[in-house]
Every structure is written in structure tokens, then in C-alpha cells.
Amino acid sequence: MKYLIIGNSVAAVAAVEAIREKDGKGDITLISDEPQFVYSRPLISYLLAGNVKVEQMYYRGKNFYENNKVRAVLGKRVTSVDAANRKVVLEDGEEFLFEKLLIATGGKPIVPKTKGSDLNGVFTFTKWDDVEKIKKLLLGTEVKRAVIVGGGLIGLKAAEGLTALGIKITIVELSDRIMSSTFDGTTSEMMKKILEKRGVEVVTKNTADEIIANGSKVGGVVLRDGTRINCEMVVFAIGVSPNIEMVKNSGIKVNRGIHVDEYMRTNFPDIYAAGDVVEAYDLVLRDNRPIAIWPNASIQGAVAGHNMAGGTKKYVGSFAMNSIEICDIPTISMGLTDPPAGKGYEVLQQLDEEKPTYRKIILKDNVVVGAIFVNDIDRAGIFTSLIKDKIDTSSFKDVLLKEEFGLAWFPKEYRKHLVVGPGIEI
């Protein structure tokens, strides 16, 4: 069998490992436009801040390709996929044939058309190369102040990394609060206060209209309301969209992301897709949509790899979830965190503004559909499984927020189902 994988992040890595579990012999070729060996993208903010060393960026051993007999073609971009003739074409014209293809090209940062966005000192923040570019600027330019456009997860992690380097940060967020797609208003306000305590300025209901030049470099930003902020650096952190350029005109079905079935197969039976590039089933919203998070990419990649090697594993779906620590405050969010009013959702919450800690559980018809944990994240994963398994909590709803809550409150059958493994009883 001739396997071809486009991409080199977690979905691709998980696919390689899953293929090799079933097929020790087939040819695996992996193509990535990034030059680096397998590394962890979520660690780039830690790398920028100096909290992880270069060696720690690699989450698989140095011999990963060799051990798995993978031919890695790194630093080369795939420009098109020819589904009918089963080949992909690189930008230098080189062609690779395949029998099974996995598209795991991830997401690419959204950069709005803004005057001055081509200036030296304007960055995105999703890849290792972005850190290298930022460091290169810092070598030759004194950066006192930076404006981050976008107050989501990427923006906050960029803010944290740059603050650690002594740079004064202004976050500019278009909506009325930061982290609006992850959290509810209460949490957004908490995070804003925590950031402000660290000297980060947060501006909402505003965005960058123009980046002003200082020679070939960034000199400042003019916001939509006319405010001018002098700065030497701008980071666009608005979000990512599925990186699907290479499948345009290929006949591969794309909506918001590449459309896949429960086997992670596209509309071509020998072409699979996994990770941030696909739109997969959201168990909470009951719709297909891209959920760009690490665990999903890993699980989808493993399912795709298994099936490419002849298996029939199904991907059951997932939902949005994230764990992010900002300014030493750990937070976990999952599912629907800010339910619309008047639609029958029930909300349990517990806020301590002093500590500060916050826990919020969102239910619909006694089934947990979302949760937020701020600075009190112990055993949060129990709620992930309550959401996933759609467990009726009516018999223990009143203890969901209590510290002692745990598996002891689950119906015995469900507890057994969870804990049972080969030879395991409870």
C-alpha cells in the first residue's frame, strides 16, 4: 500500500502511528510545508516566552520517522490534489502518487485586508516560524509596545508570551468582550481583570483599521474609532480557518472545512482528512463544523490512519473544549458555555471573586451540555464524559458543583461502564 499524508502536526502523527499498528510494510510518505521535525504548535507561546527550550518542542522522539519508516518531505508545499489520478502536485512541480491519501493540513491564520499589513513587524501566531520571525525582529528593533488584534485563545497566548519578554501589550477585540467564543461574560470579565493586573491593556468593540509605517517597519496602529496607538509590532490573532487551498477544484467536498464521514473519509473513498482542516460532527451542537483543537485532531488522525490501513473504526464526534492557563490562572471550557436565554437551558454556577474561582455547569433536560472552570479545574474531565455520554443527571444534579462530587454519585451501571476494562470491576 502507498500512503501519502499531507501535514506534519498531530493528526498526521497520529495517523502514521495508527497505520503502523496495522501495516508495518506499506510505504508512508509525509509532505509538509514546514521545515521542522514533528513539533507541538501549542507550545509556541511557551517557546517565545523562554519557558520551553527548543528540544522540548518535539513531542515525539528524534527517530519518529525512522522508527515508523516514514519518508518525510519537509519544507515543500502541496499546491493541488488530483483525486481522479491519485496524485498530488507540489509547488516545484514534483508529483507524488498515492493509493490512500490523508489531508491533515490544519488551519491557517485569518489576516483581514488591512492597510500596512505587509510591513516589517506584522505577524501571525500559529507556527514555529512565527516565533522565529518575531525573535528576528526583536534582535534588530527595540519593541516597547505591541498591538494584538484578536482577544481569543491565540491572542491571549501571544499576549502572555510577549509580556514575558517585557513588551507592553494592547489587545484589540472586535466583540464586546475577550474570549467571547470560549467563555461567558463572567469569565471574560475575570480574565480581563487578570490580564490588566499584569499590565495588559484590553480594548473591546474595536479593531485595527490601518497599520502606520515607520520606514519599512511598523510605527503604530489606527483603530476603527480613530485612536492611534504607537507600537513596533502587530500580531493578527483573529482565528484560523481550514487550510484547504490545495483541494480547490479537486472535487473534494468542502463546506466550512473538508467534509468527512464518520470514517474520516472524504467523498473520494481513498482520500481521508483529519484535524483542523475538516468539519466533523459536534455532539453538542449536532452539526458538522470545524473544531480546531488538539485532542480532536489526534483522535481523528488515529481513526483515519486505522481506516486507511483497512480498518473500520468510527469517529463518534466531539465538541469544543479547551484548557488554557493565562497569567497562572488555569481555565477549562467545554461545550456550550454561554447558552441563549429562554431556550430551556439550566445554569448552575458558583463564583468567588476574591480567590478568584468560578464553576459553571450548563444543562438541557438534565443533561450537561457545557461547563466552565476557572482557577478550580480539578476533575473537570468528569464533566467531559457526562457531556459526551449524555448522562441524565437528575438524581445528582444538586451536587454537581460540590467539591465532593465524583463518580460515587453516578448510577452504578454507568460507573461500571466507565471503570470496566479487561479484568476491572467496581
Partner 1 sequence: MVMKKRKIVINEDVCMGCRLCEVHCLVKHSKSKKIIKAFKGEYPRALPMILVEEKGHLSFALQCRHCEDAPCLSSCITGALYRDPNSGAILYDEKKCVGCWMCIMVCPFGVIKRGSEKKIVSKCDLCLDENVPVCVKNCPNEALICVEEKL
The footprint of partner 1 (CB under 8 A) covers: 14, 40, 42-43, 46, 51-52, 56, 58-60, 294-295, 298-299, 302, 321-325, 330, 332, 334, 377-382, 384-385, 404, 406-409, 418-419, 421-426
Task: Considering the complex, state which of residue 3 and residue 46 has its C-beta at the smaller distance from partner 1.
Answer: 46
Using the structure block, give the residue that is written with the C-alpha cell 491593556. 201
Strand order in the sheet with 78-82: 78-82, 87-90, 95-97
Q: What is the DSSP letter of 245?
A: G
Rounded least distance, CB 229 to partner 1, Å: 31
Q: Which residue, 240 or 247, has its beta carbon nearer to partner 1?
A: 240
Instruction: State the nearest-atom distance from the C-beta of 21 to partner 1, in Å.
Output: 12
Rounded Cα distance, 419 and 426, in Å: 7
Minimum CB distance to partner 1, residue 374 (Å):
12
Of 92 and 425, the one with the shorter C-beta distance to partner 1 is 425
Report the 10 Å Cβ neighbour count for 286.
9
Q: Provide, rounded to whole angstroms, the least separation between the CB of residue 67 and partner 1.
A: 12
Smaller CB distance to partner 1: residue 349 or 395? Answer: 395
- Minimal distance, residue 188 CB to partner 1, in Å: 19
E strand or H helix at 88: strand 87-90
What does the block give as the cell for 147? Answer: 498591538
Nearest distance, CB of residue 209 and partner 1, angstroms: 35
CA distance 294 to 304: 15
For 2, phi and psi rounded to 5 degrees?
Answer: -110, 105
Ramachandran angles phi, psi of 70, nearest 5°: -110, 130
Tell me whether residue 82 or residue 392 sits nearer to partner 1 (CB atom): 392
> Shortest distance, CB of residue 55 to partner 1, whole angstroms?
10
Q: Which residues contact 383 (CB under 8 A, 6 or more apart)?
A: 334, 361, 368, 371
Nearest distance, CB of residue 344 and partner 1, angstroms:
26
SS3 408: helix
- The answer to whether 310 and 22 are in contact (CB under 8 A) is yes
Comparison of 86 and 157: residue with beta carbon closer to partner 1:
157
Tell me whether residue 156 or residue 299 sits nearer to partner 1 (CB atom).
299
Please identify, using beta-carbon distances, which residue of 64 and 268 lies nearer to partner 1. Answer: 64
DSSP string, 131-194: HHHHHHHHHHS---EEEEE--SHHHHHHHHHHHHTT-EEEEE-SSSSTTTTTS-HHHHHHHHHH
